[in-house]
Structure 1
Amino acid sequence: MAAIPLTSRGAERLKQELHRLKTVERPAVITAIADARAQGDLSENAEYDAAKEKQGFIEGRIQELEAKLSNAQIINPAELDAGGRIVFGATVDLEDLESSEKVTYQVVGDDEADIRANMISVSSPIARALIGKSAGDVAEVQAPSGIREYEVLDVKYI
């Protein structure tokens, strides 16, 4: 499996989720399965089926998180020295040249992306257009509505 880039904050979130699944969710579903078993006939026991399904989901997510964390390449943006160029982990101030709207994004890993928090995936079209650019450069992004142009106002590593 290839290295999975994560910011230090993103890796910490995945570790917290893994801990919660192992210490809270897994024991709760084991208890639910035991309670459902105690009710007798399992062939028509909806609670048992639901608990087993939830257990499968939890175990699958635990395996997924463990694999991602074991293959993670953790990058601390504050320690980057990219010479003002946009790289993974950088926080970027942009201006849409058509609407003059200003926005700030951080380029993060796929598992960390959250557009509501202004965190865009490194594999998204806008991040791919921005990688390698510096303040003052213009990036062209292919959007569903056509090509959008963004001017890079500032690049920070925080």
Structure 2
Amino acid sequence: MNATHRLLLATFCLASIAASANPPPRFPAGAVWHQNIASAPLHPNSTSMINTLVGLGGWGNGNKFQIDFSLQTYPEAAPGTPMRTIVPHAGSGEYYSPDCEPLPASMPVPADAAFEGQSGLSCDNDNEDCHLLVRQGNLLYELYSGNYSGGVLNARCLAIWKLNAVYPPE
């Protein structure tokens, strides 16, 4: 085996190990997130919803729907990771009840946690989404429009997803 073949084999082995070492959070195979919707019918109000978005200026980015890759997911918060209390949004007192977890609530926050697109736990809520995603065991904590101050997280929403649950489609 020449040096090139050995290098390719080593690279393949390392990539295979890295790909299987720490899988991202996954929902069960029967979850709605895994359904193929390529040939599903449009929602009856689809045209109206799209026209409303267009009338309001579109998606805000040249009318392209895209994934935001600035979201950081903490794939596994270690046992003993400090739990932080969630309180309604600091400036407005808003909290999206009943769609979010009832308060008081808490979530694990690793020492190196950072909000979406940020380097720490401070975020410009007027111009950013300020998500924080942390997995611990079979739970995925999704915080929206958050900031950290005085030992608590203020947010507009906390959703806790059970990664082993099959949620209904609606």
- TM-score, reference length from structure 2: 0.25
State the TM-score, normalizing by the size of structure 1. 0.27
Rg larger in structure = 1
More strand by share: 1
